[in-house]
Amino acid sequence: ARMAAEHGIPLEGVRGSGPAGRIVKADIETVLSQGLHLQPKRPAAAALQIVNKLVETLTPLDGMRKVIADRMTQAKQTIPHFYLQDRIPMDRVVGLRAALNARGADRDVQPPKLQTQEIPGRDFLQSAKGAARLSYNDFVLMGVSRALMMNPAVNATFDGVGVHTHASVDLAFAVALENGLITPVIKNCDKLGLSDIHRVSEEMAERARRMKLKPDEYMGGTFTVSNLGMYGLDNFSAVINPPQAAILAVAAVAQEPCVDGDGHLYVGWRMGVTLACDHRVLDGAVGAQFLKDLKALLAHPEGWAV
Catalytic positions are: 279
According to the 3-state scheme, what is the secondary structure of 71-113?
HHHHHHHHCCEEEEEEEEECHHHHHHHHHHHHHHHHHHHCCCC
Measured distance CA(243)–CA(166) in Å, rounded: 13
Rounded to a whole number, what is the distance in angstroms from the first to the last CA of the chain? 49
Torsion on CA atoms 247, 248, 251, 253, rounded to nearest 10: -160
Q: Select from 220, 234, 229 the least CA-distant residue to 187.
A: 220
Are residues 168 and 190 in contact, defined by beta-carbon separation less than 8 angstroms? yes
**DSSP-based three-state secondary structure for 176:** strand
Beta-bridge mates of residue 82:
277
269 strand-pairing partners: 255
Angle between helices 136-150 and 284-299 in degrees, nearest 10: 130
Q: Which of 245, 300, 293, 267 is nearest to 145 (CA)?
A: 293
If we measure between CA atoms, which residue out of 9, 47, 53, 42 comes closest to residue 28?
9
Q: Are 173 and 141 in contact (CB under 8 A)?
A: yes
